[in-house]
Amino acid sequence: MNALSRIVLARNVNSKVLNVLKYSTSGIAGDRWKGVVNNAEKVVGYPTSFLNLRWLLNDEISNIALHITKLIGTNHPIIKIARDLLHQTDCPKWGLIILLVSKAAGINHKVAEIERDITSGILHNQRVLAEITEMIKTGHNLHNGMMKIDDEDDNHNDLRFGNKIALLSGDYLYSKSFQELAQLKNHSLNEIISTSLRDLAEAEFFRPRDSRRDILPHRPCIDKNLILSKTDPGPYDLNKYMGNSREEWILRNLLNGVNLLAKSCKGALILGEHPEFLQDKAYIFGRSLALAWQANEETKPFLHKSFLPFTLVNAPVIFQLESDPDMYDLLDASEIDYETIRSRVIEGEGVEKTMNLQMEFVDDALEALEYFPESDARDSLVKIVRALEI
Amino acid sequence: MACTGPSKLCARICWWKQCTQIRKKISTTSSKCSDERTLSYFPKSNSTTINSTSFRHRDLHSSNVADIASRIRCYGTIGTPQTGPMPEYEYQPYKLLEDDLKDVYTYIREALRKNTYQDDLYEIATYYFDGHGKAIRPMVAILMARAINCHINKNSNFLLSAQREVGMISEMIHTASLIHDDVIDQSDFRRGKPSVNVMWNQKKVTMAGDFILAVASMLIARLRNNSVTLVLSQVVTDLVQGEFMQLGSKETENERFAHYLTKTYRKTASLIANSMKSVAILAGADEELCNLSYQYGKNLGIGFQLVDDLLDFVSSSEAMGKPAAADLKLGLATAPVLFACEKFPELNPMIMRRFQEPGDVQRAFELVHKSEGLEQTQFLAKQHCQEAARLANSLTESPYQKGLIVTADFVLNRMK
């Protein structure tokens, strides 16, 4: 545990990261969000720290923690991931959403008495699934935090070691989730969660990337107008959608985590033995909520006087490209001038288009919820979605 | 004797000390059983065992490994019932399963292709499924499947498609772990070609490994069998825990060998053992038969890894497709080194510092060759392979059952 506390206390040398922490948790919107989440936690009757003690009190984790402490002082992303995990700063907790969806669907009379948790109206299996989802999400974050290292980089040996630890600890969480999934003894669930693992792996392979090895959006193509179905579980033929700003942005995020939440929401209803029709609504709800939340996050760097860092595939940038294709030269430059891009997006239509899309997802999520019976869990979900209304 | 549960591993250490005595007995019996008939199961090409020219270091004191190996081989067949001379090609596993195995890599590539439209992901994920691997895991899984089917169904010859898929899945899980190992070990070469680690960046390679695992997991779910799902999910956990054990070992000299064997089980044997168990479950075998199947795989797997660790010291880098003494360079103390410690205690500090000081690798390499470490490793591998053969022998006789026995020998006497 000593190693864990050192990770929490470690000051990150990267001031940019500190800025993110400061800004993302402040402001009126942040307070509103917190209130909604606190309320929702009461509904599921369970503290939503999914950082279960069972994970922490074993050899592998203490081994990992010890190794991570060696990396304090480098700028390897694994430090931030570990600290966020311990601090529980990255909201919203997907596990919480899954529990709320489980409860909102109600308990089907077909499910055996012994499986049910009478006080909270959630199946034990569904709680395990919530945990699995959080494990997979963290595992993917760890693998995603691996750095591309050149031999010329300073302290490349330390960074390589960081990669090694990130890889192993991600694998550890994946292997735990496989085991827990197997114990749920539900083939359909197992299959759908496996496809979400596939999606996460695929997310790394979007083309094109720029010379600085950051992610680069596709050049806008106005002639691509194929629309992705709201219930398509993948795999997706990306070439059909790349360059179509809206669908490209959706796909990037679907693969990079949104599908995990959406498929877990569906999985929770599979475990609850609810009809397929409702399972699909749960999928659409999870998908729409996560996309709305993502759009909201990605707009923040383009709001008044923001200093938040952003990537070139942030929604407002992609949407700005749609009406301002010449901006692509700025993105494709050898030295990227993020501040010029920022002001160009702020002056243009990118932010507005992103907000419209966000509202579209909010509406989709609310519509999906209408198919669930009225309950305090459904009310909580509605409040969570409404917190994302603009 | 040779089947070890992780809890029984400590007993193993005391046990091998008796080996020295047993070995003396072997050398006295070896002259009596040099009869040609005992070798008739095995193709001639195998009978040369480890070619003495491939030894880097010639001054093996008392005898060389080739002698020991041939002596031990004679010893091994004493215990097994003789079924008379047989045409040797008939039970060659790769020949027997030619039709079953020829499409394994094609099926795997198809399964991966169906799950992604991204060409670069597909390229990395199929890099090691080029058809040049030994496909030993699918081979033994299918061999066991057919042998068990014959055993249960009185010599009817068939293979369930689910059993074939277990063979595929085992190769996929193995390859996913190889790919992650390449990143962890920073290896440059594997199977005679540049490793994925040098071809693409680490993050992409990691994700490609995850992708293969995800597709394997989808295939497992589609088998629609809870026991098989549980058994195969255990494999992934074992692989990861084995990798953690390899990361650092702080145990005392006494615990070291047990640690090594547990690691070997988790990193290599668990996959083989549990896929054997899975094909038995799918055949509808009872618990006893499933366990036999599992124990066969476990012994074969441990034997396989012991031979691998041995070959790291004696085989040329061309034969292995990776540099010689690769384990030492990675800081890993495998069976030959651990055995050599008995005679040369100066190896202990080198093991503790993971052979990191200049000259350590070279010095350790030489000491291993001066000690009896290689013979002792060969002997231990022999014990495991012999136990596997004994288990296979208790199945109803069939070409596949004979194939399992031949496989145990093949694993022990392979050159690469």
- Which residue on chain B is closest to A64 by alpha carbon? B244
CB–CB of A200 and B208 under 8 A? Answer: no
* Nearest to B257, CA basis, from B175, B155, B339: B339
How many Cα atoms are found within 13 Å in the side-chain-facing hemisphere of A384? 30
Average per-residue pLDDT for chain B: 80
Those residues of chain A that have pLDDT short of 70 are 1-31, 33, 45-62, 72-73, 85-92, 117-119, 208-214
Nearest to B206 among A63, A143, A187 (CB): A143
- Total of domains in chain B: 1
Residue B414 has pLDDT above 60, yes or no: yes
Produce one character per residue of A153-181: b if its CB has 16 or more CB atoms within 10 Å, e if not: eeeeebbbbbbbbbbbbbbbbbbbbbeeb
CATH number, domain containing residue B385: 1.10.600.10
Task: Identify whether B332 is part of a domain.
Answer: yes
Measured between beta carbons, the chain B residues lying within 8 angstroms of A176 are 237
Task: Identify whether B280 is part of a domain.
Answer: yes
Rounded distance between C-alpha atoms, residue A96 and residue B76, angstroms? 60
Residue B11 has pLDDT above 90, yes or no: no
Distance from CA of A56 to the nearest CA of B (A): 15
Rounded distance between C-alpha atoms, residue B352 and residue B345, angstroms? 12
Task: Identify whether B1 is part of a domain.
Answer: no
Task: Identify whether B14 is part of a domain.
Answer: yes
Q: Do B357 and B110 touch, CB atoms closer than 8 A?
A: no
Residue B72 has pLDDT above 90, yes or no: no
Q: Do A28 and A390 touch, CB atoms closer than 8 A?
A: no
A63 inside 8 A of chain B by CB: yes
Nearest to A179 among B114, B115, B233 (CB): B233
Comparing B73 with B226, which gets the higher pLDDT?
B226
* Whether the complex's predicted ipTM surpasses the cut of 0.85: yes
Q: Which pair of tokens denotes residue B374?
A: 């290689």
Helices A156-183 and B202-222, axial angle in degrees (round to 10): 10
CA distances from B110 to A340, B123, B129, B169, B216 (A): 46, 12, 11, 13, 12
Rg (CA), chain A: 21
pLDDT recorded at residue B250: 62
Query: DSSP 3-state assignment of A203?
Result: helix
Comparing B60 with A76, which gets the higher pLDDT?
A76
Measured between beta carbons, the chain A residues lying within 8 angstroms of B120 are 205, 207
Flag the least confident range among A71-75, A187-191, B16-20, B366-370. Answer: B16-20
pLDDT per residue as tens digits for the range B386-395: 999 999 999 9
Interface test with B, best of A167, A206, A242, A270 (most B CBs within 10 A): A167
Maximum average pLDDT range among A25-34, B34-43, B179-188: B179-188
A 300-359 → B contacts, CB under 8 A: none
CB–CB of B210 and A174 under 8 A? Answer: yes
Rounded distance between C-alpha atoms, residue A386 and residue B307, angstroms? 63
pLDDT recorded at residue B48: 35
Task: Identify whether B268 is part of a domain.
Answer: yes
Rounded distance between C-alpha atoms, residue A132 and residue A136, angstroms? 6
Distance from CA of A1 to the nearest CA of B (A): 19
CB–CB of B217 and A197 under 8 A? Answer: yes
How would you class A306 by CB atoms within 10 Å of its CB: exposed for 0-12, middle for 13-18, buried for 19 or more? middle
Distance from CA of A339 to the nearest CA of B (A): 28
CB–CB of A164 and B184 under 8 A? Answer: yes
Maximum C-alpha span of chain A: 63
The amino acid sitting at B47 is: S
CA distances from A236 to B311, B328, B346 (A): 45, 44, 59
- Which residue on chain B is closest to A255 by alpha carbon? B116
Task: Print the domain residue range for B243.
Answer: 6-413
Nearest to B240 among A175, A185, A237 (CB): A175
pLDDT per residue as tens digits for the range B83-135: 434 444 567 888 889 888 888 999 999 999 999 999 999 999 999 998 888 89
How would you class B202 by CB atoms within 10 Å of its CB: exposed for 0-12, middle for 13-18, buried for 19 or more? buried
pLDDT recorded at residue A215: 80
Task: Identify whether B230 is part of a domain.
Answer: yes
* Nearest to A242, CA basis, from A253, A252, A232: A252
A370 inside 8 A of chain B by CB: no
CB–CB of B204 and A204 under 8 A? Answer: yes
Rounded distance between C-alpha atoms, residue B406 and residue B88, angstroms? 10
pLDDT recorded at residue A260: 97
Task: Identify whether B91 is part of a domain.
Answer: yes
- For A262-290, the DSSP string reads HHHHHHHHHHTT--HHHHHHHHHHHHHHH
Sorted by where each starts, the structural domains of chain A and their CATH numbers stand as 3-386 (1.10.600.10)
Q: In percent, how much of chain B has pLDDT > 70?
A: 75
Distance from CA of A200 to the nearest CA of B (A): 8
CB–CB of A60 and B248 under 8 A? Answer: no
Measured between beta carbons, the chain B residues lying within 8 angstroms of A178 are 217, 233, 236-237
- Which residue on chain A is closest to B123 by alpha carbon? A205
pLDDT recorded at residue B6: 41
Mean pLDDT of B229-255: 86
Measured between beta carbons, the chain A residues lying within 8 angstroms of B246 are none
Nearest to B116 among A143, A144, A202 (CB): A202
pLDDT per residue as tens digits for the range B334-357: 999 999 999 999 999 999 888 989
Residue B9 has pLDDT above 50, yes or no: no
How would you class A184 by CB atoms within 10 Å of its CB: exposed for 0-12, middle for 13-18, buried for 19 or more? buried
Label residue B82 by pLDDT band (50, 70, 90): very low
pLDDT recorded at residue B308: 92
Task: Identify whether B303 is part of a domain.
Answer: yes
The pTM of the full predicted model, rounded to 2 decimals, is 0.84
